[in-house]
Chain A
Amino acid sequence: MKLVKKVASQPENANHSQLGRSTMNRRAFLKRSGISVGGIAAASSLPLSMLQKKAHAAATPAASSGDETKTIRTICTHCSVGCGIEAEVENGVWTGQEPAFDHPFNRGAHCAKGAAVREHGHGERRLKYPTKLVNGKWTKVSWEQAITEIGDNLLKIREQSGPDSVFWLGSAKFNNEQAYLFRKYAAMWGTNNVDHQARICHSTTVAGVANTWGYGAMTNSYNDIHNSKAILVIGGNPAEAHPVSLQHIFRAKERNNAPLIVIDPRYTRTAAHADLFLRIRPGTDVPLIWGMMWHIFKNGWEDKKFIEERVYGMEEIKKEVEKWPPDEVEKVSGVPEDLVKKAAKLMADHRPGTFIWCMGGTQHTIGNNNTRAYCNFQLALGNMGTSGGGTNIFRGHDNVQGATDFCILSHSLPGYYGLSAGAWKHWSKVWDLDYEWIASRFDQNSYEEAAGKPAKPMNTKGIPVSRWIDGVLEDKEKIAQKDNFKAVVMWGHAPNSQTRGPEMKKAQEKLDMLVIIDPYPTVSAVMHDRTDGVYLLPAATQFETYGSVTASNRSLQWRDKVIDPLFESLPDHTIMYKLAKKLGFADQLFKNIKVNGEEPLIEDITREFNKGMWTIGYTGQTPERMKKQQQNWHTFNYTSLLAQGGPCNGEYFGLPWPCWGTADMKHPGTPNLYDMSKPVAEGGLTFRARFGVEREGVSLLAKGAYSKGSEIEDGYPEFTADMLKKLGWYNDLTDAEKALAEGKNWKTDLSGGIQRVAIKHGCAPFGNAKARSVVWTFPDPVPIHREPLYTSRRDLVEKYPTYEDRKSFYRLPTRYGSIQAKDYSKDYPLIMTSGRLVEYEGGGDETRSNPWLAELQQDMFVEINVVDANNNGIRHGDQIWVEGPEGGKIKVMAKVTEHGVMAGVVWLPFHYGGHFQGKDLRSKYPKGSDPYVLGEACNTAFTYGYDSVTQMQETKASLCRISRA
């Protein structure tokens, strides 16, 4: 009659990880490892048996002979900080995890997820073998059968509807080699309908920032924050999303007395350590930033010299800023004048200051306006290109930076080359393939125009992940491609991170085939009511393979393989080989990449992208250089990331891109972008000359400012072979280099000679220009405020309306004004916004399958203010409905707080899945692969709304209503 609570204790003869020196195999280890089953457990240990066990145990000698423990170095798979991990492996079993004290990013530290990665070696809830949905039942199939059937279906769809009818959704958790391979794979298949998480995460950052000064990545590094005299975080909660970054932020806070300013609608854990907290209405970043700049300009705090020399168009910004005096700022954003001024003054008084943002700023219909406003703020203060300053954008997944750089994106080829013929020709050369053959793989018809001429799908932006459901559901006549999506392959990407859940369910049900390739089933396996046509292929995690990964600060790190793939899973690149072989383009895809059995050689892939990624300098990071750095973590300085002596002497940790030229050039990497205090050869940089040389009579090149040691003591355009000739430097090229460089520029010269020579003369290969505050190619050249599509401030809609509807944007009709025209605020009075929890990552199936993490966050919840709770008769802990204006509704627990969120705003974490509109879908998971914790996905309730440049979804400002369940 013993009543035991939900707990797992070891069965009587279980052993924990055998850290004594005895051997065992993985199966035995897992069996004996006392893992929780996540439900009612067996009876607990009986006292008398423990007595017996001790007697037995005493007979076991302490250290017996056995296999030694190997220590394997890898990088965490969860966020972009890129913490080092030291895994202890015995006989192929992952038995221990030691802190990686030597690693310069984290020095052994971890957050909850990083400290729990060893559970990947347990993998209790992993997808164990290829599975097919047959008549509503999950059926085990072999790899061969799965690949054959999937391949046949894909080829059939290709024949009937064209290559654009398959959506290839890739992953930010691919390593660099897999990411690059995937983009190439999609090109071989013949479509630009390929995308990944960056679209819904920092796409507006990349677009906005790159269009301001050349590259769209974090400009400094987490470690460089040690040098900051002020830190501003807007729309970000690094205490939960990048906890180890707080190690660096605290260093600045404690040693430099740097004030930490946090701007957020919610009093987050980061705000708890802030010196100044500004509570902002979701979606009003531009008014607030302009409000801060109003004070900066009014008091003359701007860095006039910097603006004069390195910025174009600041006067336009000034004009816009004049429209934002304090009372207008307070009216729109809710932040009073004294706080706005205080924030501005703190940043102005304490320079260099760094500016950090995350999804709170990016996930809006005006995301690109927000990110450009942030950039302009830092430009105005002259905080760019200096250690301690910069726009330190904290990216999300462990390799979203790499996946973005390799452009698993529907609008570009790897390296941000774009989709023009020139871009394709460049990559054809790198891939050693016939350009015409590649072109023939695409749909040859035209469905839209570009620059007045018909454009082919090969050169037009594909449908992004935020809109894939419209690719399925939209009237096919209105889509700028041949047909709807008939099949979607979700490869390392969860569905519950995209909005409009009920429509997504319909889309999944309408497809001919849905393929999920992931270590875990993901919510895609359960949220629809399909009975057939779904395949689950088990992919291996990054601990079961090896390769390079790019952290948010652009450092590349090499991972070693910790354990062999669990169960029947395979590494992603092996699966790509199998599919490519079935689909008929394996020879082309792997033309210069050795394939061992079915596994492509990772190092060959690295070397291939080293040959082609000239735009962002992924050319100097060879496997050898990266591996050497991995073995010498301890030689890199904690603040500067420069190796001080040792085998990597002179290099920056991770050879942060741009790492110019070929590896022979031994460029050390660029730790802080746009920093002119160093020669380019030592990691210095200028702003990129990307937007032309002149506009409306004004020069776009830098004015009298140049990097240290530059032989051109002024601005200059990007380097071409012809420019080298004009400068008289052409003969610095070797003959071999000349052969390839002739007629090319720094991006397309496969020899790397143009880059080498430019750097030799102290110049940046991409030119030396001004950053532009006005992006004349964007819908809003000067960033302005527009109310979110679903807004509760109807009084502001007239003055700050959203865009007009577009007929075709990324091939799809995209609505703006027609949605904002309707007033939803009466029926849906509360602002709905979302965010992260430290215990979980992304769509959450992986982390919710880790018992050590799942135990800490067992319930999906919505955080509501006590006033709204009382107005709706809701008490803390009640189950309530949260309903969005598009009909999606979710049943979640109410977490009532007084100060967390303000009245009128509710906040939801987005990591949950497995419940759908009140229904528990646990039984629909393949047996043994359901995560421990399930919950409603907040995105079931979130709504339409897409950024005007990148189609980023608006998940930070929508509307909802709540009611007791």
Chain B
Amino acid sequence: MARMKFLCDAGRCIECNGCVTACKNEHEVPWGMNRRRVVTINDGSPGERSISVACMHCSDAPCAAVCPVDCFYTTDDGVVLHDKDVCIGCGYCFYACPFGAPQFPGDGAFGSRGKMDKCTFCAGGPETDHSSAETEKYGRNRLAEGKLPICAEMCATKALLAGDGDKVSDVYRERVTYRGASAGAWGWGIAYSKGKQE
């Protein structure tokens, strides 16, 4: 079965935030919560690169490991989802997640954050597919319609790829091959520059 993955091609991401608003649009994510965000390293300097990050749907998900109420589950596709009805809003998944994917609607006074919300790989949640309960709590379920996450589908430069890990790798590998030197392969800039150098 396909194992779903995200890959953000830092060579193409221009921090247009299209992925961010596409996700907000599709799932009506409220103000203050960003399931996906774009982070730029070295902003304003040569070497500036941007990467779009949301939940990476880890194989050994730290969020699932630390959850006191064990509300996470992984689908057959490898998508990590959770049950908002069981979630107690303790915030542990946010501490454990390397990517900072879990988001909370509340601010945390007296530990009241509300139910954790995060990227679902547009795969909804434990409720019945396309039911109003699912849509209301988790957003749209695109995977059940045979579609892919909206963030990747709407990426301006196709930097963000999402889908079957094998296919994503193929796409990226093809790009790396085309790019040659600028992919960062050691020594290729000098050996295989295709006349780009003077």
From the candidates A44, A259, A851, name the one contacting B106 in the complex (CB within 8 A). A44
The CA-CA distance from A63 to B89 in the complex, in Å, is 31
Contact A243 B30 (CB under 8 A): no
Contact B28 A6 (CB under 8 A): no
Contact A111 B128 (CB under 8 A): no
Chain A hits for B155, CB < 8 A: 109
> Is A885 part of the binding interface, using a Cβ–Cβ cutoff of 8 Å?
no
The CA-CA distance from A247 to B30 in the complex, in Å, is 29
Chain B hits for A897, CB < 8 A: 43-44
Contact B21 A852 (CB under 8 A): yes
Within 8 A of B (CB), among A36-59: 36, 38, 41, 44-45, 47, 50-51, 53-54, 56-58
From the candidates B12, B18, B43, B136, name the one contacting A14 in the complex (CB within 8 A). B136
Contact A16 B158 (CB under 8 A): no
> Is B180 part of the binding interface, using a Cβ–Cβ cutoff of 8 Å?
yes
Chain B hits for A839, CB < 8 A: 17
The CA-CA distance from A20 to B135 in the complex, in Å, is 8
Counting chain A CB atoms within 10 Å of each CB, the highest count among B49, B112, B156, B194 belongs to B156
Contact B31 A3 (CB under 8 A): no
Contact A53 B133 (CB under 8 A): yes
Contact B16 A60 (CB under 8 A): no
Chain A hits for B180, CB < 8 A: 257
Chain B hits for A243, CB < 8 A: 14, 16, 18, 156-157
The CA-CA distance from A47 to B18 in the complex, in Å, is 33
Contact B157 A7 (CB under 8 A): no
Contact A838 B17 (CB under 8 A): yes
Contacts A2-B109, A852-B21, A855-B31 given; does A58 touch B139 at CB 8 Å: no
Contact A267 B114 (CB under 8 A): no
Chain B hits for A7, CB < 8 A: 30-33, 105-107
Contacts A34-B30, A852-B21, A897-B44 given; does A5 touch B107 at CB 8 Å: yes
> Is B76 part of the binding interface, using a Cβ–Cβ cutoff of 8 Å?
no
Chain A hits for B26, CB < 8 A: 96-97
Contact A108 B154 (CB under 8 A): yes
> Is B48 part of the binding interface, using a Cβ–Cβ cutoff of 8 Å?
yes
Contact B27 A239 (CB under 8 A): no
Q: Across the interface, name the chain B residue whose C-beta is closest to A238.
A: B14
Contact B157 A109 (CB under 8 A): yes
Contacts A58-B133, A277-B46 given; does A2 touch B150 at CB 8 Å: no
Chain B hits for A113, CB < 8 A: 21
Contacts A20-B135, A51-B85, A97-B25 given; does A57 touch B20 at CB 8 Å: no
Contact B129 A33 (CB under 8 A): no
Q: How far is the CB of B125 from chain A (nearest CB, A)?
A: 10
Task: Mark the stretch among A114-122, A431-439, A494-502 that contacts chain B.
Answer: A114-122
Chain A hits for B195, CB < 8 A: 257
Q: Across the interface, name the chain A residue whose C-beta is closest to B155.
A: A109
The CA-CA distance from A78 to B30 in the complex, in Å, is 23
> Is A148 part of the binding interface, using a Cβ–Cβ cutoff of 8 Å?
no
Q: How far is the CB of A107 from chain B (nearest CB, A)?
A: 8
Within 8 A of B (CB), among A462-480: none
Q: Across the interface, name the chain A residue whose C-beta is closest to B89.
A: A47
Contact A254 B175 (CB under 8 A): yes
Counting chain A CB atoms within 10 Å of each CB, the highest count among B17, B24, B179 belongs to B17
The CA-CA distance from A899 to B44 in the complex, in Å, is 5
From the candidates B20, B28, B84, B196, name the one contacting A856 in the complex (CB within 8 A). B20
> Is A440 part of the binding interface, using a Cβ–Cβ cutoff of 8 Å?
no
> Is B22 part of the binding interface, using a Cβ–Cβ cutoff of 8 Å?
yes
Chain A hits for B59, CB < 8 A: none
The CA-CA distance from A855 to B36 in the complex, in Å, is 13
Chain B hits for A883, CB < 8 A: none
Contact mask for chain B residues 179-193; partner A; CB cutoff 8 A; 1 contact, 0 none: 110000000000000
The CA-CA distance from A274 to B58 in the complex, in Å, is 33
The CA-CA distance from A243 to B133 in the complex, in Å, is 35
Within 8 A of A (CB), among B32-50: 32-34, 43-46, 48-50
Q: How far is the CB of B29 from chain A (nearest CB, A)?
A: 8
> Is B127 part of the binding interface, using a Cβ–Cβ cutoff of 8 Å?
yes
Within 8 A of B (CB), among A57-103: 57-58, 60-63, 96-97, 99, 101
Contact A16 B85 (CB under 8 A): no
Contact A239 B133 (CB under 8 A): no
Contact B114 A45 (CB under 8 A): yes
How many residues of B are in contact with the other chain, CB < 8 A? 68
The CA-CA distance from A765 to B6 in the complex, in Å, is 53
Chain A hits for B30, CB < 8 A: 7-10, 34, 36, 41
The CA-CA distance from A813 to B84 in the complex, in Å, is 67
Chain B hits for A269, CB < 8 A: 14-15, 48, 50
Q: Across the interface, name the chain B residue whose C-beta is closest to A899.
A: B45
Contact B21 A853 (CB under 8 A): yes
> Is A217 part of the binding interface, using a Cβ–Cβ cutoff of 8 Å?
no
> Is B97 part of the binding interface, using a Cβ–Cβ cutoff of 8 Å?
no
The CA-CA distance from A166 to B12 in the complex, in Å, is 48
Contact A16 B24 (CB under 8 A): no
Contact B43 A99 (CB under 8 A): no
Q: Across the interface, name the chain A residue whose C-beta is closest to B183.
A: A254
Chain A hits for B115, CB < 8 A: 45, 47, 50
> Is B131 part of the binding interface, using a Cβ–Cβ cutoff of 8 Å?
yes
Contact mask for chain B residues 103-146; partner A; CB cutoff 8 A; 1 contact, 0 none: 00111011010110000000000011111111111011000000
> Is B168 part of the binding interface, using a Cβ–Cβ cutoff of 8 Å?
no
Contacts A239-B14, A852-B25 given; does A62 touch B154 at CB 8 Å: no
The CA-CA distance from A15 to B130 in the complex, in Å, is 13
Contact A111 B17 (CB under 8 A): yes
The CA-CA distance from A390 to B122 in the complex, in Å, is 42
From the candidates A5, A36, A112, name the one contacting B17 in the complex (CB within 8 A). A112
Contacts A10-B30, A16-B135, A109-B157 given; does A5 touch B106 at CB 8 Å: yes
**Residues on A facing B (Cβ under 8 Å):** 1-10, 14-20, 22, 33-34, 36, 38, 41, 44-45, 47, 50-51, 53-54, 56-58, 60-63, 96-97, 99, 101, 106, 108-116, 118-119, 239-240, 243-244, 246-247, 250, 254-255, 257, 259, 267, 269-270, 272-273, 275, 277, 342, 345, 838-839, 851-853, 855-856, 897-900
Q: Which 8 A-B pairs rank lowest in CB-CB distance, beginning with the nearest?
A: A57-B133, A900-B44, A7-B32, A115-B22, A5-B107, A272-B48, A243-B16, A112-B17
13 further interface pairs, Cβ-Cβ under 8 Å (given A6-B31, A257-B195): A3-B107, A8-B30, A14-B136, A17-B135, A50-B84, A63-B130, A99-B150, A108-B153, A108-B154, A118-B25, A243-B16, A243-B18, A272-B50
Q: List 9 A-B contacts (CB under 8 A).
A: A19-B135, A36-B30, A44-B112, A53-B133, A240-B14, A247-B157, A247-B158, A838-B16, A899-B44
